Structure 1
Amino acid sequence: MAPASATGALIGYARVSTTGQLLDRQLAALTDAGCLRIFADKKSGKNIEREELTKALDYLRPGDVLVVPALDRLGRSLQDLISIVVGLRKQGVGFRSLHEAIDTTTPGGRLVFHVFAALAEFIRELIVEGTNEGLAAARARGQRLGRPPAMTPEQIRHARDLLSRPDNTVSSIARLLGVSRSTLYKHVPELASGRVAVDQPPTRHGELEAGPR
């Protein structure tokens, strides 16, 4: 991928976390740096929807350079920052951070971002490795992994006991146990064959006809 070259305009982006904070210092720094146009958000870095940043990225053209007062004004995280800068480079757009003196249109600036990208990948691999080791250790201890079952063994036993009484219906037992009918059928599969018998209690007339004459 060819490195971006600063042949276009300098476009600034500033951000503060809350509406009570002032953008004045950042705007002044970007203006002094020679930015032709400046976009500014008043939102937390954790907020995915940063409308002015989206507008700035759409405004940029090949040869332009996106300028920020500091790295933490642009990305929500190191990975997010790298993703944005890589996206800029694919468009032939450079990136400059005033506070850290990083400029991806220069060899030194590109080297710094290669190091950042390698560090982010290294951290990601450590997290994945640690997660896998934790899962393996949990399995070795016999610990159950994944979502807990919708019904506990005690609830299943209780459901079977209640269903043995003809006056109880599947719906009433499901409500009593705080589960859905489908969950009850899933965990007590023998219900499928006798659903009609337990869904509705028999009438008195039916009981008399079934009994001895």
Structure 2
Amino acid sequence: MNHNLHPVFRGLTTDEYQELTSHTRIHEKEFSKGTLIFQNADLVTETGIVLTGSVHIENTDFWGNTSLLSEVGAGGVFAETYSLSHEPMMVDVVAASDCQILFMDVTFLRDSSLSGYSWHQKMLSNMLSISIHKNLTLSHRIFCTSPKTIRERLLTYLSSQSQKCGSESFEIPFNRQQMADFLNLDRSALSKELGKMRDEGFLTFHKNSFTLLHPALNESH
């Protein structure tokens, strides 16, 4: 594995990476699509780094209703907050596709005796940057699920994806059920509203590909 390809190891020299591996346990594991990697209430000390494929961070309530909180793709990191805080997991981590995960025991970050090493400082900085980015991602989901109506949630989410991609045409990382879970919506209601928006000239779509349009008439919500 080329450690420089992954944000969690950004800035580490080959020697620093080797020093890191001598102070902690790092191992790789493959998972097939749908496999539960971590689950609610697990106590973990390892952070997961996605090498290939992607994973979903999900929350399931008492009645079995699942909400999709985020997707973590190749190069992304998951469970870093739980592994550092020693708090039990409050979410499930599920393989969204066949994936390869690098697991790293991060308890070394709390070891003050290692603070003099350059690699230790770089790893602390990288983990902080990753945590900040993850907080922004969760804030984005809150922003998308705050509107009361289905259309407002769709407009907020799709507009943000368009802006992120810098184009009126883009692909989202979710199928319809996952999109509904992410936006806290019923799948059939979401699909019905998408159909209305297409008919009214707001957008066109095919599967997870969307193109946003400007309707000729004033939109009526």
TM range (shorter): under 0.3
Structure 1 or 2, whichever has the larger Rg, is: 1
TM-score (norm 2): 0.25
TM-score (norm 1): 0.26
User: Which structure: greater helix fraction?
Assistant: 1
User: Which structure: greater strand fraction?
Assistant: 2
